Every structure is written in C-alpha cells, then in structure tokens.
C-alpha cells in the first residue's frame, strides 16, 4: 500500500506555482509591458529569455553558495529574495530595471528548485520519489493551466504591474505554508554536505546522459507550446480569441502526463522515458500532416504535451538515483539542463519556422524527442550501475570541501 505524500510536499508545490506563474506569465502581458516601457514587443519577449538564462546560471551558483545551509532556511531566504525582486519589478521605471529584476528573480527561483527537490527526496520513501517530485513539478504545470490565464486576465483589467503584485502575494503565502509544514533542520551527527563529494558525483558520465535526457524532456514540449498559438491562428485559421482555450487544453495534457509519469516513473523509469519520447515524436510528426485543421492540431498538441511531460518525473528519478549520496550539485545540474532545453526548443523551432513555415515546429519537437530517446537507449545497458556509490574523490581535492 502506498504511503500518503506529506503535506509539506504540497506546500513546496504551492511555492513552485507562485514562482512558475511569474516565469510563464509574460506570454499574455507582452503588449502591455512593451507599451508601458516604450519598447518593442520583441524586446519585451527577451524578458523571458533573461529569466531562462538566470535559472540556468543560478542553479549551480546558489547550490554551491548555500550547500551547508539548513534547507528550510535556504528556501525561505530564496522566497523572500524572489518577493523582493518582484516588488522592484512591479515598481520598475525602465525596461533595463525590469530585466534586472527578472534575471535576479530567476536566479533565486533556480536555487529554490534545487533545494526543494532535494528536500522532497528526504521527505518520502525511495519508491515515492517520482510521485513526490511530480507533485512539486505539478505546481509549474498548474501555473500554465490556471496561473498564466488568470494573470493575463488580471493584467488586462488592472495592468501588468498588478499581476506582478499578485505573484508577490502568492510567494509570501507559500513561504508561510513552508514555515508551517516543514520543520527546522536539526543538527545531525552525519557529516555536512561536501563540495568535494558533490563534484565527484557530477563527474559520473552516466549522469551527463541523464542531463541530455532532461534537456530534451523540456525542449520537446516547449518547442511546440511556444508557437502553438501562432500555428493555430496563421495556419489553422482559428480566431485569436480561442487561443487561451487551446492553450488550456494543451496544459491539461501536460498535467495529465505529469500525473501518470509520477505514478509509474519510480518502478519503470526507462519504460516511461521510452514511451514518452516515442509518443512525443509521433504526435509531433502527425502535427505536420494536419497543421491546417484546428481540432486535430489542438488534440495532437495536447497529446504531444502529455508525452513530453510523462518523461519529467522519470528524468528526475534518474538523476537523483545516480546522485543519491550527494544530490545537491547534481540536482542543480538537472535544473540547468531543464532550462537549456527551454532555451534550445524555441530556438530550434524558430530557425525551422524561418526556413519552412510554422508547421515545422513538429520537426523541432520530434528531433528533440528522438535525441532524448537516443540518450535513454545509451544509458539503458548501464542501468545496473545506477545504484553503485560514487567513487571517492582524490585526496588532493580535500582542500576544496
């Protein structure tokens, strides 16, 4: 019988929902931001790129800087800093100021992701890691389905700065939930985390195969999701007013994939990855064939998001299985890999769109999914070594710890 997931895991998911809403909300607010700050819409769109770069860089930097901090304290400090950056963003007088707040907010958000993932691993039994991590990641998916449309509606009615203030309020509430449900870390007799051992884990080549799978897990989904609205309007010819409905349906597909993946990834990580990458590739290629038909496009996009997010819990399980002894820096690498995928996916899709039109987003997602499948296939013959302890670092590295 499965043990229930602790309430504290849901508190962490609420924090990811608050911060994830900020990560994704710009998609519906770009015209207002551009007009308010007197920049082009394309320049305003770079705020999303700045956020992704901040996350990719922030995860390893903050992990090393806070390696020996108590986890609850670290998460609360990260949330406080996130709230402060968003207060500054809500008051930002210029585009440059807003960009700075986005990058800095992303840095601490990345730090929170790492610490929360490691905390979750310690809160649940080994056979529930994937399920618990999928609940935390579900906070981001729910932000896609509910947070972003609600933030867009608030921004359209009261201005984009009001949406930022709402993110501040949600962040404060999630910090209170963490304070109430996660006990302070007590001093342990065990040795504190060692940077020397963390680096030894990172040197494992199998971990880097897992990172490739992680990057492809996020890249395959975001390549389609980023341009889905444009595909539906320009190629399929639906009215722009129906785009939010299509995006919600696609988001429901991603949430369903995350839920199913969380239930099977602990027992069958490689099967979950193989099914997810294969299904995403097939759905992406079929999308090419029906790009002018609105209903099939929406359904296939939802299916593509289902299979893309099916892989999410499994790539997390792989990384934390390989890095069980020293998971902090390895977890940071996983967050960086996710964000590299988020950068690569739209970039590859954009190049193909320029050359071959909007329907070619299907080629981009399929290529990334097949790359993830190849990385998984390369790791499969070595799976019996996953539980082996990391090699001890050489004595000469002792001064680093």
Say if 286 falls within a structural domain: yes
Query: What integer pLDDT is reported at residue 343 of this predicted model?
Result: 83
pLDDT at 299 over 70: yes
- How far apart are alpha carbons 352 and 364 in whole angstroms? 7
Indicate whether 264 and 226 sit together in one domain: yes
Indicate whether 296 and 391 sit together in one domain: yes
Say if 212 falls within a structural domain: yes
Say if 97 falls within a structural domain: yes
Residue 151: closest CA among 138, 142, 164? 164
pLDDT in tens, 176-186: 999 999 887 65
50-59, 84-93, 257-266: the lowest-pLDDT one: 50-59
Band of residue 2 on the pLDDT scale cut at 50, 70, 90: low
pLDDT in tens, 213-268: 999 998 998 888 878 878 888 888 888 778 778 878 888 898 899 889 988 888 89
pLDDT at 296 over 90: yes
pLDDT at 87 over 90: yes
What percent of the chain clears pLDDT 70, i.e. is strictly above it?
Answer: 91
pLDDT at 140 over 60: yes
pLDDT at 275 over 90: yes
HEC profile for 300-321? Answer: HHHHHHHHHHHHHHHHHHHHHH
- Counting the structural domains of the chain, the total is 2
Say if 263 falls within a structural domain: yes
Q: Which of 188, 220, 241 is the last residue of a domain?
A: 188
Average pLDDT score over residue span 113-124: 85
pLDDT in tens, 285-294: 999 899 999 9
Indicate whether 152 and 259 sit together in one domain: no
Say if 358 falls within a structural domain: yes
Indicate whether 273 and 370 sit together in one domain: yes
Query: What integer pLDDT is reported at residue 147 of this predicted model?
Result: 81
Query: What integer pLDDT is reported at residue 27 of this predicted model?
Result: 66
pLDDT in tens, 319-340: 888 877 777 788 788 888 988 8
Query: What integer pLDDT is reported at residue 392 of this predicted model?
Result: 46
Indicate whether 325 and 387 sit together in one domain: yes
Band of residue 390 on the pLDDT scale cut at 50, 70, 90: very low
Average pLDDT score over residue span 101-121: 90
Indicate whether 53 and 175 sit together in one domain: yes
**Residue 381 exposed, middle or buried by CB count within 10 Å (0-12, 13-18, 19+):** exposed
Indicate whether 215 and 245 sit together in one domain: yes
Say if 2 falls within a structural domain: no
Indicate whether 158 and 29 sit together in one domain: yes
pLDDT in tens, 38-49: 988 767 777 877
Indicate whether 245 and 327 sit together in one domain: yes
- The domain that holds 238 is classified in CATH as 1.20.1250.20
Q: Which of 171, 188, 205 is the last residue of a domain?
A: 188
Say if 1 falls within a structural domain: no
Band of residue 384 on the pLDDT scale cut at 50, 70, 90: low
Indicate whether 355 and 323 sit together in one domain: yes
- How far apart are alpha carbons 401 and 398 in whole angstroms? 6
- Global pTM value: 0.77
Give residue 17's domain range: 7-188
Band of residue 375 on the pLDDT scale cut at 50, 70, 90: very high
Average pLDDT score over residue span 70-98: 94
Mean residue pLDDT across the chain: 84
Indicate whether 176 and 204 sit together in one domain: no
Q: Which of 130, 156, 188 is the last residue of a domain?
A: 188
Say if 401 falls within a structural domain: yes
Helix axes 269-289, 243-264, angle to 10 degrees: 160
- How far apart are alpha carbons 109 and 19 in whole angstroms? 7
Indicate whether 209 and 167 sit together in one domain: no
Band of residue 396 on the pLDDT scale cut at 50, 70, 90: very low
Query: What's the distance, Cα to Cα, between the start and end of the chain in Å?
Result: 41
Query: What integer pLDDT is reported at residue 57 of this predicted model?
Result: 84
User: Beta-carbon neighbour count of residue 330 at 10 Å?
Assistant: 26
135-149, 295-309, 381-395: the lowest-pLDDT one: 381-395
Query: What integer pLDDT is reported at residue 285 of this predicted model?
Result: 95
């Amino acid at each position: 019988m499965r043990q229930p997931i602790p309430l504290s895991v849901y508190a962490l998911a609420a924090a990811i929902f608050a911060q994830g809403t900020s990560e994704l909300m710009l998609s519906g607010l770009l015209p207002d931001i551009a007009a308010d700050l007197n920049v082009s819409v394309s320049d305003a769109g770079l705020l999303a790129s700045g956020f992704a770069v901040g996350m990719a860089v922030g995860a390893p930097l903050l992990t090393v800087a806070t390696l020996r901090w108590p986890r609850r304290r670290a998460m609360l400090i990260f949330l406080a800093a996130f709230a402060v950056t968003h207060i500054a963003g809500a008051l930002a007088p210029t585009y440059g100021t807003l960009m700075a707040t986005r990058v800095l907010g992303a840095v601490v958000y990345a730090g929170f992701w790492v610490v929360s993932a490691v905390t979750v691993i310690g809160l649940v039994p080994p056979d529930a890691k994937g399920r618990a991590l999928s609940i935390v990641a579900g906070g981001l998916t729910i932000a896609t389905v509910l947070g972003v449309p609600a933030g867009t509606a608030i921004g359209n009615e009261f201005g984009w700065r009001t949406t930022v203030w709402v993110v501040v309020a949600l962040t404060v509430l999630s910090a209170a939930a963490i304070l109430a449900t996660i006990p302070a870390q007590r001093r342990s007799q065990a040795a504190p985390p060692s940077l020397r051992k963390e680096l030894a884990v990172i040197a494992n080549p199998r971990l880097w195969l897992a990172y490739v799978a992680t990057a492809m897990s996020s890249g395959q989904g975001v390549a389609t999701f980023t341009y889905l609205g444009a595909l539906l309007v320009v190629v399929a010819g639906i009215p722009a007013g129906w785009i939010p409905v299509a995006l919600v349906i696609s988001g429901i597909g991603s949430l369903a994939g995350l839920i199913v993946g969380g239930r099977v990834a602990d027992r069958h990580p490689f099967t979950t990855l193989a099914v997810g990458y294969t299904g995403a590739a097939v759905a992406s290629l079929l999308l090419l064939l029906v790009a002018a038909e609105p209903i099939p496009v929406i359904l296939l996009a939802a299916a593509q998001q289902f299979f893309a997010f099916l892989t999410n819990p499994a790539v997390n399980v792989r990384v934390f299985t390989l890095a069980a002894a020293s998971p902090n820096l390895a977890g940071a690498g996983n967050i960086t890999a996710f964000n590299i995928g988020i950068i690569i996916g739209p970039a590859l899709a954009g190049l193909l769109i320029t050359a071959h039109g909007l329907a070619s987003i299907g080629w981009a997602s399929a290529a990334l999914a097949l790359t993830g499948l190849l990385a998984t296939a390369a790791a499969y013959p070595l799976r019996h070594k996953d539980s082996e302890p990391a090699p001890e670092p050489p004595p000469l590295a002792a001064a680093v710890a």
